[in-house]
Structures are given as C-alpha cells and as structure tokens.
C-alpha cells in the first residue's frame, strides 16, 4: 500500500508554473495540474463545487448584511430584501466598537497576547511527544498513545474547578500564565494525535539514512523531520489559533478578574447585553472578531498549498 508523504516546500517559481506554466514545457507538476483541471472540466464537478460553496457562504453573507441593518428591520423583514431596497448603516458597528468603557484595542491586545504562546507551546510539546510515539521504541508505547488520544473526550468543564484551585494556590489565577498553561494542556491530546499521524508517514528510509550518518534523535527531529512537517504544523497551527481565539470559557474562568487579561470574546459575548436582547450588536461583534482568524488563514494557506515530496514511495 502506498502512503502519502507530506511535503517539502516548492520554490515560488514552481508554484507559479503549476498554475500558469506553458503546456509545451510540462514538468510533472504541470501535468498534474492539467490533469486536475481536466477533472473539473466535467460540468457536474463544477456545479457540485459551486453548489457547496454557495450553500456554505450564504448563511454568513446573511449575517454580514444583517449586521448593517437597524434592529427593527432585522425583526420584520429578511436580509435579502435589502437587494431591492438597500438600507445600510453602521450603528451596530459603532455600538460594538465604542459601546464599552474599555477600548476595544485593549481586548485585541489581550487576545493576541493570550493566543500566540497558547499556539506555540502546545505545538512544540506535541511535536516532541509525537516524535517519541512515532520514532522511538519503548514499552507500552501504543497503550500510552491510545490513552493520550482518548483523553480528547474529557470535557473542559470538568477540569475547571481542579485547575482553578491549583492556580489559586500558586497565585496564578487571573494572569496570562494560567490561561496559557490551560490552553496548552487542553490542546495536547488532539495535537499529539494529529501530528503523530503526519509524523509516522515520513518514509522510514529518510530516518534510517540519517541514523546511518550517526545523527541522534534530537538531530533527526530538527534537521530531518521539522522541514517536512511545515504543512502539518501550519494546518494544526491554524486550528489551534482559531480555538484559542474563539475561546470564551477558559479565559472567563482563569483570566477572570478584569479588563487587563480579558480577550475579545469576553467583550463580544457581553455585546448581547445583560439579558441577551442585543444580538444585533453581537452580529457586528462577530465579524469584528473574525478578521484576525481570516488573516491568519490566508497567511498560512500558502504553506499547505505547496507540498510535494518527489518520488519516495515505499510499500
């Protein structure tokens, strides 16, 4: 059976060629690109892709239009009526941006400060752990691995009280440290599970060859594996970023105490008002908080669009 191989970066040029290269000088990639296009020239394939894309985008588009409409219009007519009778205003965005005694930028900074370490730390730890699971032989390896991945199911809610008591003892409650630590812990089982999958698909021959050259585990990890894992790290990084960025529960519990550590989601949640009646403002807030994740996705996308490792197949 063949096993897929992630990925070495191609140069910028190769990628351009992949989409635009002249047919006369077909490299392997070009031919593959052409084949891909051929597959889509089937009208059914095109139609299916467009239908899915439209289905997936329409609800969000509806909310986007809604976020520009006044509250009474929202309640009394559908958002699609604005096509015939355009009526937009920025009131919801104004309330979302300036409706708090604390500046929105404070929350933005907090979100960023929370998110970056909460992405970097678990990914690093998980990379090391999944390397051990994939390429170091030790007793009880499989059972340990299964135990770790099964722990994904522990609901975060059951961990809140034990963790918070511990942080209170350590004097860490209400600080960024508690939030980073908690996010890292919660991310580990899934991160190890996903990265292990990528890790073990790297051809054994590559590792063996490095070992022949006398490289130890640390050297193999950094020099052989890391470059090959860039797409995997990028894709998991995006999701971890999203989960932390959109998290409300963890920061409410461990960062609780005031505006110094509260992330954007805490502010967005309170836009709904004390009794939850102001969700028209919340619709604007949802889009404001979406901006950063979208930028991150677009920025990281190029790392997993490329990624072809020539040749090495093993059975």
Partner 1 sequence: MRIATRRSSAVLAGGAALALALTACAPSSNDTDDDGDMTTAAAEVPEIDCSVYDEFGDLDGTTVSVYTSIVEPEQEDQELSYDPFEECTGVTVQYEGSREFEAQLLVRLQAGNAPDIAYVPQPGLLSTIVNDTGAAVPAPDATAANVDEYFSESWKGYGTVDGTFYAAPLGANIKSYVWYSPSAFEEAGYEVPTTWDEMIELSDQIVADGKIPWCAGIASGDATGWPATDWVEDVVLRVAGPDAYDQWTTHEIPFNDPQIVESLDEVANILKNEDYVNAGFGGVDSIAATEWDGAGAPILDGNCSMHRAANFYQNQWPEGTEVAEDGDVYAFYLPSMTEGEKPILGGGEFVVAFDDRPEVQAFQTYLSSADWANVKAAVTTRGGWVSANTGLDSELLATDFDRLSADLLADPEAEFRFDGSDLMPGSVGAGTFWSEMVAFFASDKSSQEVADAIEASWPTS
Partner 2 sequence: MDWLLHADTTTEKLLVMVVAILLFVAVMSIILFAVDRPKSPPRWIVTVGFLGPALLLILFGLVYPGLRTIYSSFFDRNGQNFVGFDNYAKAFGQDQFQQVLTNTALWVILVPLVSTFLGLLYAVLVDRTRFEKLAKVLIFLPMAISMVGAGIIWKFVYEFRPAQQNIPQVGLLNQILVWLGLDPQQFLLNQPLNTFFLIAVMIWIQTGFAMTILSAAIKAIPDDIVEAARLDGLSGVGMFRSITVPSIRPALVVVVTTIAMGTLKVFDIVRTMTGGNYGTSVVANEFYTQSFRQNEQGFGAALAVVLFVFVIPIVMYNVRQLRITEEIR
Shortest Cβ 92–partner 1 spacing (Å): 10
Whichever of 130 and 265 has its CB closer to partner 1, that residue is: 265
Shortest Cβ 131–partner 1 spacing (Å): 35
Q: Answer yes or no whether residue 299 interacts with partner 2 by CB under 8 A.
A: no
Nearest residue to 251 (alpha-carbon basis) of 122, 86, 138, 112: 112
189 is in the binding site of which of partner 2, partner 1, none (Cβ under 5 to 8 A by kind)?
A: partner 2
What is the CB-side half-sphere exposure of residue 197 using CA atoms within 13 A? 13
Q: Answer yes or no whether residue 167 interacts with partner 2 by CB under 8 A.
A: no
Binding mask 256-295 for partner 1 (x = CB under 8 A): xxxxx-----x--xxxxxxxxx------------------
Q: Which of 23, 83, 212, 310 binds partner 2 (CB under 8 A)?
A: 310
Q: Which of 12, 16, 70, 77 binds partner 2 (CB under 8 A)?
A: 77
User: Which listed range, 88-96, 102-110, 205-213, lies at the site for partner 2 (CB under 8 A)?
Assistant: 102-110
223 is in the binding site of which of partner 2, partner 1, none (Cβ under 5 to 8 A by kind)?
A: none
Binding mask 241-260 for partner 1 (x = CB under 8 A): -------xx--xx--xxxxx
What is the rounded distance in angstroms from the CA atom of residue 192 to the CA atom of residue 139? 18
Cβ–Cβ < 8 Å for 75, 235:
no
Task: Copy the structure tokens of residue 229.
Answer: 């894992």
Q: Answer yes or no whether residue 126 interacts with partner 1 by CB under 8 A.
A: no
Cβ–Cβ < 8 Å for 290, 245:
no
How many binding residues for partner 1 (CB under 8 A)? 39
Q: In which region does residue 10 sit, left (phi positive, over 0), alpha (psi from -120 to 50) or beta (all else)? A: beta
Q: In which region does residue 165 sit, left (phi positive, over 0), alpha (psi from -120 to 50) or beta (all else)? A: alpha
308 is in the binding site of which of partner 2, partner 1, none (Cβ under 5 to 8 A by kind)?
A: partner 2
List, in sequence order, the alpha helices (H) in 9-103.
12-20, 28-41, 43-66, 71-76, 91-98
Residue with tokens 């990084």: 237
Task: Copy the structure tokens of residue 307.
Answer: 């990624």
Task: Copy the structure tokens of residue 89.
Answer: 């205003």
Task: Copy the structure tokens of residue 179.
Answer: 């939030």
Burial-class residue 167 by CB neighbours within 10 Å (0-12, 13-18, 19+).
buried
| Cα–Cα distance list, 36 to 33, 39, 51 (Å) | 5, 5, 19
Binding to partner 1, residues 141-160 (CB under 8 A): 160
Binding mask 169-198 for partner 1 (x = CB under 8 A): ----x-------------------------
Q: What is the DSSP letter of 9?
A: P
Binding mask 73-92 for partner 1 (x = CB under 8 A): --xx--------------x-
Whichever of 104 and 224 has its CB closer to partner 1, that residue is: 104
Report the interface residues with partner 1, using CB under 8 A: 70-72, 75-76, 91, 95, 98-102, 160-162, 164-165, 167-168, 173, 248-249, 252-253, 256-260, 266, 269-277
């Amino acid at each position: 059976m063949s096993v897929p191989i992630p990925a070495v970066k191609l140069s910028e040029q190769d990628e351009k060629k992949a989409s635009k290269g002249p047919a006369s000088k077909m490299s392997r990639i070009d031919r593959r690109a052409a084949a891909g296009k051929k597959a889509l020239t089937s009208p059914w394939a095109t139609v299916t892709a467009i239908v899915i894309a439209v289905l997936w985008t329409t609800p969000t588009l509806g909310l986007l239009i809604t976020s520009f409409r006044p509250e009474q219009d929202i309640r009394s007519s559908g958002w699609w009526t604005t096509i015939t009778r355009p009526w937009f205003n920025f009131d919801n965005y104004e309330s979302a941006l300036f409706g708090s005694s604390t500046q929105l930028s404070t929350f933005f900074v907090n979100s960023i400060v929370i998110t970056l370490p909460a992405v970097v730390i678990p990914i690093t730890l998980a990379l090391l752990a999944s390397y051990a699971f994939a390429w170091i032989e030790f007793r009880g390896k499989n059972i340990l691995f299964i135990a770790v991945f099964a722990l994904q199911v522990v609901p975060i809610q059951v961990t809140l009280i034990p963790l918070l008591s511990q942080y209170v003892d350590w004097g860490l409650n209400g600080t960024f440290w508690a939030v980073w630590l908690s996010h890292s812990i919660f991310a580990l089982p899934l991160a190890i599970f996903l990265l292990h999958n990528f890790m073990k698909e790297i051809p054994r021959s590559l590792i063996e060859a490095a070992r022949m050259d006398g490289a130890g585990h640390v050297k193999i990890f950094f020099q052989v594996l890391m470059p090959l894992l860039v797409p995997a790290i990028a894709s998991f990084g995006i999701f971890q970023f999203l989960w932390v960025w959109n998290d409300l529960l963890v920061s409410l519990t461990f960062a609780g105490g005031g505006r110094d550590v509260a992330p954007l989601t805490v502010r967005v949640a309170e836009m709904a008002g004390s009794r939850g009646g102001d969700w028209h403002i919340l619709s604007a807030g949802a889009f404001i908080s979406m901006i950063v994740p979208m930028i991150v996705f677009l920025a990281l996308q190029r790392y997993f669009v490329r990624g072809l490792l020539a040749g090495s197949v093993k059975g």
